[in-house]
Structure 1
Amino acid sequence: MEYVPRERVRSLTAVLSVASLAVVFAAAGGRIPQSTVPGAPEWFLEIIPHVNVAISATAIATIALGWRAIRRGRIDRHRIAMLASFGLFAAFLTLYLYRLVATGGPQPFPGPDAVYQFVYLPILAIHILLAVVCIPLVYHALLLAGAYSPAELAQTNHARIGRAAATLWLISFSLGIVVYALLHVGY
Structure 2
Amino acid sequence: MASATAPGYAKAHPRRVTAVLSVVGYALVIGAFEGLIPLFPELSRETVILFSDLIAVVNSLALTSLLVGWWFIRRDDVRRHRAAMLVAFALICAFLVLYLWKVGGGFEKAIEIREGQFLAAYAGVVELAYLAMLAVHILLSVLAVPVVLYAVVLGLTHTPEELRQTSHARYGRVAVASWSLSLFLGVVTYWLLNHVYAWVPR
Contact kept, 8 Å, 1:109 with 1:116, in 2: the verdict is: no
- What SS does the corresponding residue of 1:172 show, helix, strand or coil? helix
User: How far, CA to CA, are the matches of 1:118 and 1:42 in structure 2?
Assistant: 26
Q: TM-score, normalised by structure 1?
A: 0.90
1:60 equivalent in alignment to 2:63:
yes
- Name the SS for the 1:109 alignment partner: strand
Larger Rg: 2
Q: C-alpha displacement at 1:115, in angstroms? A: 4.5
Partner SS, residue 180 of structure 1: helix
Once the 2 structures are TM-superposed, how far is the Cα of residue 3 of structure 1 from its aligned partner? 3.2
TM-score (norm 2): 0.84
Paired residue for 2:97? 94
Measured after TM superposition, the shift of residue 69 of structure 1 is 0.9
Deviations 1:83-108 (A, max 9, x none): 000011011111111011111x4212
Q: Is 1:175 paired with 2:185?
A: yes
- 3-state SS of 1:163 partner: helix
**Partner residue of 1:150?**
160
Q: 1:86, 1:118 → 2: CA distance?
A: 31
Q: Among the aligned pairs, what percent are the same residue? A: 36
Structure richer in helix, relative to its length: 1
Greater CA drift, 13-22 or 158-167: 13-22
Task: Tell me, in whole angstroms, the C-alpha distance in 2 between the residues paired with 1:4 and 1:185.
Answer: 48
| Distance in 1 separating the partners of 2:16 and 2:75 | 32
Pairing 1:1-187 to 2, within 5 Å after superposition: 3-5=7-9, 6-28=11-33, 30-32=34-36, 36-103=39-106, 105-111=107-113, 114-115=124-125, 117-187=127-197
In 1, Cα distance between equivalents of 2:188 and 2:113: 14
Query: Which has the bigger relative contact order, CA under 8 A and spacing at least 6?
Result: 1
Letter in 2 for 1:141: A
Letter of the 2:36 partner, please give it.
Answer: I
The answer to whether the Cα contact below 8 Å between 2:111 and 2:127 also exists between their aligned partners in 1 is: no
